[in-house]
Amino acid sequence: MSIVTHLIGMKELTTDQIERLLDRAEYWAERPGVQTDVLKGRFIANLFFEASTRTRFSFEVAQKRLGAHVLNFIPETSSTVKGETIYDTIRTLEAMGVEAAVIRTKKDGLLTELASEVSLHLINAGDGTNEHPTQCLLDLLTMRQQFGRIEGLTVAIIGDLRHSRVLGSHLHALPKLGANLLLAGPSSMMPPAQIVPDGVKKVDIDEAVQTADVVMMLRVQLERHTDALFVSKEEYHRAHGLTLERAKMMKPGAVIMHPAPVNRGVEIHSDLVECEKSLIQKQVTNGVAARMAVLETVLKGSDKTWESSLATANA
């Protein structure tokens, strides 16, 4: 069994490593609000070169529930304005005794480069259009809780797929775990053909919604679509969104997921965000559990000492 020392992407993880991370995430999901000393006195830095309060808060809750010390980097006030490279920043953190860095960056593949050069543990919180592995893990945890398995599930990922790092991670993970993956969305938003593995089918949205166990709607990255091609939010909703009508066509037992933040009325009807079929809130809750599992795994290096280290403060 190889040890997970970084979390760069789902691409690098074996099926066994993914399953073990999910098992541990489930362990934390069953212990909401529990405060532990697992990482007491250890330092983790959150380096969000691209702002995301939502993801940073999720990591920060996970870090603090594990008892770690948290350092938050604020992009506007970066020492990188003085011309320092990210490599030098990471080496500086290492020298200060920081043991892990959670990094969000606009640059595809940045963490892969860094991983060969530094000894501090790296956790990818989204690198450009490449991967967002902790989002993928929380999605997988949510599916497994709901259906008891991932193998054999049909998962439709729908919408703005072109630049999606969430899709980037699922393209590696879902096939590994034996799920059937369907893609749907406007043709201008399809992912580059070369990143889509064999066996992943492109279908129209109605077919996707009707056949999937999991209907995963992606956020339209409105900030990227400012040109004339993008007609209007209403038009997008009608043509490519999860409307009330489409939701009615879902199979019995099928669920709605979304990595959030949601554009209500664009990729998903506002009334569906918190409907009975929706697992969107559950995904957010599972995000903390999944990140606790990741942080614990990379920082403890083994699960040997897990069981004995749980100290509850407010269980």
Site residues for a second copy per CB under 8 A? 32-35, 40-43, 45, 48, 51-54, 57-58, 60-61, 64-65, 69, 71-79, 81-85, 88-89, 91-98, 219, 222-223, 260-264, 273-274, 281-282, 284-285, 287-288, 313-314
Residue nearer to a second copy on the CB measure, 174 or 217: 217
Q: Is 20 annotated as a binding residue?
A: no
Residue 167 vs 288, nearer CB to a second copy? 288
179 is in an annotated binding site: no
CB of 45 to a second copy, least distance (A): 7
Instruction: Give 75 or 152: the residue with its C-beta nearer to a second copy.
Output: 75
Identity of the residue, 45 or 174, whose beta carbon is nearer to a second copy in the bound complex: 45
Task: Say if residue 260 carries a ligand binding annotation.
Answer: yes
* In the complex, minimum distance from the CB of residue 88 to a second copy, in angstroms, rounded to a whole number: 6
Question: Is 261 annotated as belonging to a binding site?
Answer: yes
Please report where in the chains the tokens 């963490």 appear, as a residue.
Answer: 111
The full DSSP string for 29-76 is HTSTT----TTTT-EEEEEESS--HHHHHHHHHHHHHTT-EEEEE-GG
Q: How far is the CB of 13 from a second copy (least distance, A)?
A: 24
C-alpha torsion angle, residues 235, 236, 240, 245 (rounded to 10): -50
Measured distance CA(300)–CA(41) in Å, rounded: 13
> Measured from the CB of residue 91, what is the shortest distance to a second copy in angstroms?
7
The end-to-end CA distance of the chain, in Å, is: 32
- Is 135 annotated as contributing to ligand binding? yes
Judged on CB neighbours under 10 Å (0-12, 13-18, 19+), 286 is: buried
Distance CA 175, CA 177 (A): 5
Encode 105-134: b = buried (16+ Cβ within 10 Å), e = exposed: beeeebbbebbeebebbbbbbbbbbbbbbb
For the bound state, the minimum distance from the C-beta of residue 228 to a second copy, rounded and expressed in Å, comes to: 20
User: What is the residue type of 75?
Assistant: P
Residues 177 and 236 sit within 8 Å (Cβ to Cβ): no
Beta bridge partners of 44: 70, 100
Q: How far is the CB of 58 from a second copy (least distance, A)?
A: 6
Which residues, at least 6 apart from 131, have a Cβ–Cβ distance to it below 8 Å? 8, 9, 10, 11, 124, 165, 168, 169, 172
Q: Which lies closer to a second copy via its Cβ, residue 98 or residue 212?
A: 98
162 is in an annotated binding site: no
Q: Please, are residues 133 and 10 in contact by the beta-carbon 8 Å criterion? A: yes
Q: Measured from the CB atom, is 43 or 236 closer to a second copy?
A: 43
Active site residues per annotation: 54-55, 82, 104, 132
Q: Is residue 82 annotated as involved in ligand binding?
A: yes
Rounded Cα distance, 150 and 157, in Å: 15
> Which residues line the annotated binding site?
54-55, 82, 104, 132, 135, 165, 219, 260-261
> Which residues line the annotated binding site for L-aspartate?
82, 165, 219
> Which residues line the annotated binding site for carbamoyl phosphate?
54-55, 104, 132, 135, 260-261
